[in-house]
Structure 1
Amino acid sequence: MDNRTLLKKCIDEFSKENLVNVFRRICPKYSYQEENYSHYLDKYAEKIKSLQKLGSAEDDEASRLLFFMGEIKGLYSSQTGKKMQYELAKEILKAENYDAGLFAFYDSAGNFRFSLVHALYSGKKRSFNNFRRYTYLVLKNTPNKTFLNQIGKSELSSMDKILEAFSIEAVSKDFYAGFQPKFEKIASVIRGDTALTEDARRNFALLFVIRIVFLGFIQKKGWMGGSKGFIQDLWKEYKESKDIGDSFYKEWLEPVFFTILNSPPGKKCLSDDTPFSEATKKILDSAPYLNGGIFTRNEDMDTKGRYIPDKEIEDFFEFLFQYNFTIEENSLYDEELELNPEFLGIIFEQLVNKENGAVYTPRTEVDLMCRLALAKWLEKNSSSEKNDIFHLLFREGGRGDEFDKDQKTGDFSLNQINELTNLLENITVCDPAAGSGAFEVGMLHVLNEIVEELHRKQGDSKDKLRDAAFERKKNMIANSLYGVEVKEWAVWINHLRLWLTLFIDMPDEFKTSEKPLLPSLNFKIRCGDSLVQKLGTKPFPVHGHAELSQTLKLKITELKKIKLDYFNNSGVKQKIIKQMEKALFKLIMDEEISRLKSTLAGNIFNEDTQLSMFADGIDEYSEKQLSISDAYKKKIETQIAEIETQKKSLSAEHPMIWNIEFPGIFFDNGGFDIIIGNPPYVRQEKIEDPTGKLSASEYKKELQDMVRLDFPKHFPPKKKINAQSDLYTFFYIRSLHLLNPNGIHCFICSNSWLDVGYGAWLQEFMLKNVPMHYIIDNHSRRSFASADVNTIISVVGAPQSRLNMKDYTVKFVAFKRPFDEAIFTENLLEIEEAEDIVSNDIFRVYPISNRKLFDEGAEYEDETQKTLGAADYVGDKWGGKYLRAPDIFFTILKKGKDKLVKLGDIAQVRFGIKTGCNEFFYVEDVTDLIED
C-alpha cells in the first residue's frame, strides 16, 4: 500500500492504527512507543479531551521528532481550538527538549488537523527563541488534495525534508503547476461580440478567476444559505437542467455576480425567467450584499457580450474545488497550508507578474520591513522612548513563544498610549509599486496587532477586541493604506487581498446587512504609472509649494469627504469623483495662471525663483528682490503657455497624478508618513513605458526628467544621471519625494546599486540628502531565490534640504541567521546602540557616517580640494566592503589604519581588456538547475 492510499484510508477512517501506519510509512526513522500524555492537559481541558504520544524519531543530524494524537471536544471548524493546540504542542516540545513534533488533533467525526510544530533556535547554542507551526486541516468528504499531494509524496527522513513537506513554497508550486494551464486555457477560449486582444482575454479570465475564488471564500464561511459547496451545486443544477449549451456564464453566473451579490438580502431582483430552482432561489435571496467593486460590472470587461464556454468552466471548477479553502490569513509563526488569501496572492503574482520584474515578497521580509519602518517613524514622531517602541513592535528571543506572558511590550504612560494609538490609527502608508498587495496587507496586520495591544494596555477585554476587529481594520484601510500599481490586473488582486482580509473578520450577523459589506477601493489602490505623469508634453510634478487659496482648500476638503463616502458605499458614483478630480485639476491650473499673470501685471519676484507650482523645488525669496526683466517676463509667459496646453490636454481619463489622486496627503500633510515596497527588478535595457504610449528611449528620457523635476537642486540639467541605471533606482528617487519631512522610506530591492557604476549617482544623492538608518543584508537566506537577484533592505528618512553629512550615520547590517531566527528586540536594540563594529553569531553591524562614506567614494585632484570638500563622487563598493566582506577585512583595516593607502593614490588604475560579452566568455555552472 503506497503513501497516498494509506493517507486516504486514514482520512476515510481515522484511528490510532491508521495514523501509526501513516507515521511508519512516511518517516523511515519512526519508532512506535505509546504513552498517555493527558497530564499536560490541565490548562487545555476546555478544548482538548485526550492526548497520546505515539512515538519518536531521530535523523542523521540528531534532530529529534515526537508524534502525537489528540482528541478535541466538539467538531472542527477552521478555528476550533487552534491556538490552544499550538500552545500545548509548544509546551510539550520545550519540556521534552525535542526539536519538532507531528500532531494529529481529531474530532468525533474523524476530521483532523495535521500539524508540524518545530523550534526556532538562537545562535550556535540552540536555545529556544520561538516555534513555528504548519498545518493541513483534513476534512471528511472533501478532496484534501494539498494534504494528499504533499504528504503522499514525501519521505520524512530528515528535518529538511519534513520542513519541505510542510512548506508554503512547495504547496504553492504544486498548486500553480495545475492552475496555470487551466487559466491559460480559459483565456484562450473566451468569446464575445467583438474580437479580443491577448491582454483583453487574460484580463477577462483573471477577473473571472478572482470572482470565483471570492465566491469560494463566501461559501466556505457558510454565507450561501449554509452551503459550503454552493458553486459546485449550482453547476450540477445547471448540468441537470434542460436548456444547456455554453449558457452557464451568461445566464447563471452573471446574475449571481451582478445582481445577487450586489443587492441586500431579501431584496434580490431576479427576473421571472431565471433558470434557478426554488431551492437555489431561496439561497440566493439570502446571499450577502457585498458590492465593493468586485461584483460590479466592469465597463471594459462585462459589457461586451464576453463569456467562457462550459467545458473550460467545468474543468476549472473540478481543479479548484479539489483544494480546501481556509478563511484566515497566515501569521508569521502559524501557517495554514490550504487556499488562504496569502497563498492566492503568491499564485496570482506568479501567474502575471514575473515577466514585469515584480516578485512576491515573502511574509517574513514584509513583516520585518513594516515593523522597522514603524519603529523609526514612531521614534521620530512620538514622545515614547526608543527601547519601549522596539519592545512594542518586536518580540524578545529566548522566551519560548509568541504568547509568553513575560514578553515586554513597552512601558508607556496613559498619555503615551493615547498618543501612539492616535498616531497609528492615522498614519499614512503607500506602496508605489503595489503589485498584489503584500505590503498593504502586511502593514494592515502589523498596525492591527499593535493598536490591539495598545487597547489591551488600556484594559479592553479579549471579547471587545475581537468584536472590534472588522471595524478597526476597515478604518485602517480607509485612513492609512494607499498604493499605486501600473497593471490593472494587479490592482484587482490587491483589492481582493484587502477584501478577503476584511471578510475573515466580518461578524456572522453581517450576512443579513442591508448595506454593502465591502468598501470600494478604487480610490485607495490606484492604477497608474508612479514614475511618469504628463499632461500634454509637460511633466506634472508630485507637489508644488505655492500658496493654496481658500477656494482650493475647500475643494480639496470636499473631495476627501466624497472619496471617503465612496469608500463606505454611501451612494457616491465613481464618475462623480472623476469629474471632481478633473475640476480640481482645472482650478489648480487656473489659479496658477492667475498668479503668474498678476506677476506680469507688476508684482516683484526674485528672478532665481521658479514661480509655478508645476516646477518643484521653489526656493525661499532672498532679501534682494529684482524687478522683472524682459527675459524673466518671457519665462513667465512660457510657463503660462505650458499650463494652458496642459489644460487643453485634460480629459476625464487623465494620467495618475499623485497630488490629485491623494490631495489630502500632499496638500494637508506634505506627503506620506511611510513609503514601503518592493520595486520591480527591470534592467535598463528592458525598461519600457508600461502604458505603451512612449517608445523605450522616450520613456527613459522621461524618467531622467522626473528625477530633475523632483530634485532640481541636486540634479540640474548638466548633472549626469547614468543611462545604465535599472528601473528601481528611479523608484527610489520618486518615492523619496513622496514623503513628508518626518517620513520614513523602506525598500527591499536589488543590491546592485551598492557596488556597480550606475549606482554612484544614487549613492551620492543619498549621502548628500538622506538620513540613512539601515542597509540590511542576509547572508544565511536569500529573500528571492526565484528572482535571480540578490537583495538588501534599506530604511532611510525623508530627504533634507541642508543635510550635514558629518551628523548622520548609516548602519550596514549583515545578518548571519535567517531573519526569523534573528529579528528580536535585544538584537535590534544592540544594532541601534552600536557606535563601532559589532560582530557576533547573529549579525554584524558596521556604523559609518555619510561624510566618511562620501570621502571613500570621492576623487580629489589635490589636498587643497580635499580640505575644501570639493570633489567628484565616483562611487564605492558599499556592498562588498560593509556587508559581504569577512570579519578579517575589518581587523586588517583597524590594525593597519596608519599603514594602508588607496592603490589609486600611488598608482594609475586602468581597465585591462573588456570582453564586451561576459555571457559568452563566462560559463555558468547550471548543474543545480537540471531536473532529474
Structure 2
Amino acid sequence: MLTLRSAARLLARADARPDGALNPCMPLRAIGEVLGFGPAAPADAAIRRALGLDTLTRRAELATGTGSLRLLLADLAAPPADALPLHDARERTRRVAASLCRSAPDRLWCLLTVDRRADGTTLCLAIATPAQGTTRVTALRVECTRVLDSDAETLRTLAAVGETDDLLRHARFADILQRDALGGRFYRALEQAVDTLAQSLHTPQQTRGRAVDATGDTALAATTARAHPRAPSREERRELALLCASRCLFLAFLEAKGWLDQRRDFLLTETVKQLEAGGRLHDRLLRPLFFGTLNTPARQRAAAARACGAVPFLNGGLFSPTALERRWHRWRFADDAVTHLVVAVIDRHRFTAHEESVQWSEAAVDPEMLGRAFEGLMASSERRRSGSFYTPPALVGHTVHAALTTLFRDVPEALVLLGETAAAASTAVSPDQRDALRARIEALRVIDPACGSGAFLVHLLEQLDTLLARLGDPRDAHTRRRDLLARSIFGVDRQPMAVWLCELRLWLSVIIECPATHPDRIPPLPNLDHHIRVGDSLTGGSFQFAAPSARTLSRLRERYAQAAGARKHRLADTLDREERRRAVSELSRRREALQRERRTLLTVLRGRDLFGDRRRPQRAERLRLDTLRQRARELAAETHRLHLGAALPFRFASMFADVAAHHGFSLVIGNPPWVRPHALPASERQWLRHEFRVMRAATWQAGATRAGAGAGFGAQADLAAAFVERS
C-alpha cells in the first residue's frame, strides 16, 4: 500500500532536472509502475509523428497496461512564442490527449506530462476519454516544488485501484480524477472549519487562543452568553464565519497565481509568523490583510499593511466591511480556529481558478465548487424554503448554449461562431458582419433573476468573451470580461451570501485571464454591487412605471463599476441618490395610476343607467374602491419614508431604469427556485395569487379538462412559474 509520504515523494521527484544523458521521462516511470503499468519504452520520431506528438512533445515514452490500457510519459515541448494559448500546460496536455484519441482511438489512454519552466516544473496526470465529438480530460496538476496533501492522497487512491478489466480500470482512474472526488473531502473540511470559526467568536475580554471545537463546547458557550447578553446570534455567527472563510478561499486562488507577495504559501507562512510573534491572528493578520491591504491602494497603506509585502489592491467590495461586521466589530475569531482554516482547508488542497468544462475536469478546488460548498453550508430547512439547490455544470452549459443560439437565431454568422473553433470561424464572417455582431453583443443586457452563486452568469460571461475573441476583438480576455461585467451582466437574489458568492465567482473569472505577473500591475476589480443586487425578483415589480429615459443612471453605473478610492465613494453616493429619486418617481407613477383607476370607477358608479336611475355599487366594486384607497395611502406613506432617507427596497423600475429605457433585458436566464405553495406562508401564497396570473390559474388545468381528468393539485403552481411570468 502506497503511503501518503511515498506518494508525495514520487510526485516531487518529477522535478528532477535532466542533465547530460539522463532521460527526462525517467522520473515519471516510477509513477507509471505504481499505477500498474509495465516498463516504459521510448517512442521514436516515427511513432511520435504517427500519434501527432512531434510538435507537442520533446521526448515521449509508452508503457503498456492491462488490455488496451496505454500510458504516455511525455516531456512537453516549449510553447511557440506566437501561440499564447499554448503557454498553459493545461491546454497543451489537453491537445496531447486529443491527438492520442484521434490517432489511436482503439486504445484507452492515460498520460503523465511534465512542463519544465525556469520557475518550476508542473506534472500533469491525466485520463483521456472520447466524448460527444471531443476529448474529455480528467487530470491532476501538481507543482513539483510544492506537493500538497490532496495531491498525494489522489495518487495514493489511484494506486489502490484493483480492477483488472481495462475498461473498468480506465473508468475508475477517470472517476478518481474527477473534481467531485476531491469535492467530498473539501466540503467536509470546509464545513468543520466554518463551524469552528463560528463557535470561536469572542470579545477581547474573553479568553483568547482557545477555539470551540466542531462538536461544540457547551460550557464555554454558556459562559459567553452570561457574560455578554448582547452577542451575535447563531445565524450571525455563521454568516460572519462564512464571510471570513470565503475571503480566505478567494485569497487561496490569488495565492495559486503567485499574486500574494509572489509566494505560493503566503497564507501559511504569514499565519505561522504571527503565531510565533504572539498570535492575535484576527487583529494582526486578517484585518490588516483584508481591509488595510487588499482594499487600500499601496501608497495609502499603513505600516501593518505594508508588512504583508507585495499584495495587490483589489477594490471591488469583496474586502470592504459589511454591515454585520461593522455591527460586531469588537468580536474576534480565535487563533486556533483561523489556523485550522488555513492549515486544514487551504494548505491541504490545490486551488485552480479554471472552472470545469466539457473538455477538462481537474482534481482541484475551483470557483464553481465554492458555490456548491456554501450552498451546502446553508441550513437544509432554509434551502427547502428558498429553493436554493445546486445546478450541475452540464445543465448550465446546455442552457447557456441554447439561450445564445435562440438569441442569435436571426444571425447565421453568430451561430457559426457558437459552433466552430476560432480558427474555422475566422474565415466564415466578413469584417462588416464582425463589426455588427460585436456591436450587438456590446448592447446585450442579461439578467439571472435568481442568480444564486452565479453559475449561469459566469458561464455566459465566458461564452460572450469567446464570441468577442472569435470576432477579432484585439483586447485581451481580462479587459473584455471587465468591460462585459461593467455593462452587460446583472443578477438578483434574496440571499446576501449568494450575491456575495456570485460576485466572487465573477471576479475570479476576470482575474484568471489577467496577464499580469506582478501584484503591482494587477488592475483593481470592478464594483459589482449595483449589478448583482440583493432583492426578491418577485416583489421587485416590473418596468411598467419606469421613467422613459435613464441615460444618467447607465453612465453612473458604468463609471462606478470601474472606480476606486475616493472617486468610488462619491459615485456610490451619487448613484444611490439617483436610484432614490427614481424610486420616488416610480411610487408617484404607481399612485397616480391607482388614483386614475379609482376616479374612473367612481365616475362609472356615479353615472345613471338608461332609465335615469343611479347605479348601486356591487360588493366587488366597493371592495375594489377600498383596496385602491388603501393602496394609495400605503404608497404615499412609502414615498414619505423614502424622502426621509429610509432604506431603498429592491425595485426593477428604479435600480435598472436604464435597462427599461432600452426595452428591457435582452436575455433572462437561470434556474428559478422550485418551491411548492404548501411550503410558503399563507400570506405569501395570497400575495402571489394576487400578483401573478399563473398562480391564480395554473396553465395545465385546461389540459386536464380536455383529458377529462380532475384538476387535482393543478392550482398549486410552483414558485418557478411566477419567475417565468416575471421574466
TM-score normalised by the chain length of structure 1: 0.63
CA contact (8 A) 2:449 2:492 kept: yes
CA contact (8 A) 1:143 1:322 kept: no
Secondary structure in 2 matching 1:131: strand
CA contact (8 A) 2:527 2:560 kept: yes
Report the alpha carbon displacement of residue 10 of structure 1 after superposing the two structures with TM: 1.2
Matching of residue 134 in structure 1 with residue 138 in structure 2:
yes
Matching of residue 11 in structure 1 with residue 11 in structure 2:
yes
Partner in structure 2 of residue 289 of structure 1 = 313
Q: Specify whether residues 513 and 267 from structure 1 end up closer, same or farther in structure 2 by C-alpha distance, changes over 3 A only.
A: farther
Of residues 497, 520, 524, the one that matches 1:517 is 524
Of residues 35, 56, 65, the one that matches 2:69 is 65
Secondary structure in 1 matching 2:199: helix
Of residues 192, 197, 210, the one that matches 1:186 is 197
Of residues 539, 552, 558, the one that matches 1:558 is 552
TM-score normalised by the chain length of structure 2: 0.79
Q: Distance in 2 between matches of 1:542 and 1:160?
A: 50
Look up the equivalent residue of 2:245 and give its one-letter code: V
Q: Specify whether residues 227 and 731 from structure 1 end up closer, same or farther in structure 2 by C-alpha distance, changes over 3 A only.
A: same
Partner in structure 1 of residue 723 of structure 2 = 734
User: Which structure has greater strand proportion?
Assistant: 1
The equivalences for 1:528-543 within 5 A come to 528-533=535-540, 541-543=541-543
Q: Specify whether residues 353 and 4 from structure 1 end up closer, same or farther in structure 2 by C-alpha distance, changes over 3 A only.
A: same
Partner in structure 2 of residue 255 of structure 1 = 288
CA contact (8 A) 2:450 2:493 kept: yes
CA contact (8 A) 1:183 1:205 kept: yes
Matching of residue 363 in structure 1 with residue 348 in structure 2:
no
Look up the equivalent residue of 1:521 and give its one-letter code: L
CA contact (8 A) 1:434 1:485 kept: yes
Secondary structure in 1 matching 2:128: strand
Q: Specify whether residues 218 and 25 from structure 1 end up closer, same or farther in structure 2 by C-alpha distance, changes over 3 A only.
A: closer
Q: Specify whether residues 65 and 72 from structure 1 end up closer, same or farther in structure 2 by C-alpha distance, changes over 3 A only.
A: same
Q: Specify whether residues 96 and 589 from structure 1 end up closer, same or farther in structure 2 by C-alpha distance, changes over 3 A only.
A: closer
Q: Distance in 2 between matches of 1:48 and 1:287?
A: 36
Matching of residue 311 in structure 1 with residue 336 in structure 2:
yes
Matching of residue 526 in structure 1 with residue 537 in structure 2:
no
CA contact (8 A) 1:151 1:165 kept: no
Partner in structure 2 of residue 807 of structure 1 = none
Q: Distance in 2 between matches of 1:671 and 1:371?
A: 21
User: Which structure has greater helix proportion?
Assistant: 2
Look up the equivalent residue of 2:11 and give its one-letter code: I
Report the alpha carbon displacement of residue 13 of structure 1 after superposing the two structures with TM: 2.1
Q: Specify whether residues 560 and 644 from structure 1 end up closer, same or farther in structure 2 by C-alpha distance, changes over 3 A only.
A: farther
CA contact (8 A) 1:113 1:135 kept: no
Partner in structure 2 of residue 416 of structure 1 = 433
Partner in structure 2 of residue 85 of structure 1 = 93
Matching of residue 49 in structure 1 with residue 58 in structure 2:
yes
Report the alpha carbon displacement of residue 473 of structure 1 after superposing the two structures with TM: 0.7
Of residues 94, 98, 102, the one that matches 1:94 is 102
Report the alpha carbon displacement of residue 292 of structure 1 after superposing the two structures with TM: 0.7
Partner in structure 2 of residue 675 of structure 1 = 668
Report the alpha carbon displacement of residue 510 of structure 1 after superposing the two structures with TM: 7.8
CA contact (8 A) 1:38 1:52 kept: no
Q: State the superposition RMSD in angstroms.
A: 3.8
Q: Specify whether residues 728 and 394 from structure 1 end up closer, same or farther in structure 2 by C-alpha distance, changes over 3 A only.
A: farther
Partner in structure 2 of residue 480 of structure 1 = 488
Look up the equivalent residue of 1:439 and give its one-letter code: F
CA contact (8 A) 2:98 2:135 kept: yes
Q: Specify whether residues 40 and 297 from structure 1 end up closer, same or farther in structure 2 by C-alpha distance, changes over 3 A only.
A: farther
Q: Specify whether residues 328 and 371 from structure 1 end up closer, same or farther in structure 2 by C-alpha distance, changes over 3 A only.
A: same
Q: Specify whether residues 181 and 509 from structure 1 end up closer, same or farther in structure 2 by C-alpha distance, changes over 3 A only.
A: closer
1:842-895 superposed Cα distances (whole Å, 9 cap, x missing partner): xxxxxxxxxxxxxxxxxxxxxxxxxxxxxxxxxxxxxxxxxxxxxxxxxxxxxx
Look up the equivalent residue of 1:113 and give its one-letter code: L
The equivalences for 1:636-675 within 5 A come to 639=628, 641-649=630-638, 650-651=641-642, 652-665=646-659, 667-675=660-668
Secondary structure in 1 matching 2:718: helix
Look up the equivalent residue of 2:172 and give its one-letter code: K
The equivalences for 1:26-37 within 5 A come to 26-27=35-36, 30-37=37-44
CA contact (8 A) 2:396 2:455 kept: yes
Matching of residue 334 in structure 1 with residue 360 in structure 2:
yes
Q: Distance in 1 between matches of 2:476 and 2:602?
A: 55
1:89-123 superposed Cα distances (whole Å, 9 cap, x missing partner): 3223322224432211224588443332423256x
Q: Distance in 2 between matches of 1:151 and 1:173?
A: 16
Look up the equivalent residue of 1:290 and give its one-letter code: L
CA contact (8 A) 1:349 1:360 kept: yes
Q: Specify whether residues 153 and 664 from structure 1 end up closer, same or farther in structure 2 by C-alpha distance, changes over 3 A only.
A: same
Of residues 315, 330, 349, the one that matches 2:375 is 349
Matching of residue 583 in structure 1 with residue 545 in structure 2:
no
Q: Distance in 1 between matches of 2:464 and 2:299?
A: 36
The equivalences for 1:383-402 within 5 A come to 384-385=411-412, 388-394=413-419
Look up the equivalent residue of 1:422 and give its one-letter code: A
Of residues 675, 683, 692, the one that matches 1:698 is 683
Report the alpha carbon displacement of residue 370 of structure 1 after superposing the two structures with TM: 0.6
Q: When the two structures are aligned, how many residues end up with a matched partner?
A: 645
CA contact (8 A) 1:47 1:81 kept: no
Partner in structure 1 of residue 243 of structure 2 = 207
CA contact (8 A) 1:51 1:70 kept: yes
1:606-656 superposed Cα distances (whole Å, 9 cap, x missing partner): 979xxxxxxxxxxxxxxxxxxx99979996796365233123134432432
Of residues 478, 485, 492, the one that matches 2:500 is 492
Look up the equivalent residue of 1:525 and give its one-letter code: I
Q: Specify whether residues 712 and 237 from structure 1 end up closer, same or farther in structure 2 by C-alpha distance, changes over 3 A only.
A: same
Q: Specify whether residues 393 and 606 from structure 1 end up closer, same or farther in structure 2 by C-alpha distance, changes over 3 A only.
A: farther
Q: Distance in 1 between matches of 2:594 and 2:373?
A: 52
Partner in structure 1 of residue 207 of structure 2 = none
Report the alpha carbon displacement of residue 500 of structure 1 after superposing the two structures with TM: 0.8
Q: Distance in 2 between matches of 1:421 and 1:184?
A: 48
5+ unaligned residues in a row in structure 2: which ranges? 17-24, 80-84, 204-227, 606-613
5+ unaligned residues in a row in structure 1: which ranges? 59-63, 123-128, 396-401, 534-540, 609-627, 689-695, 739-932
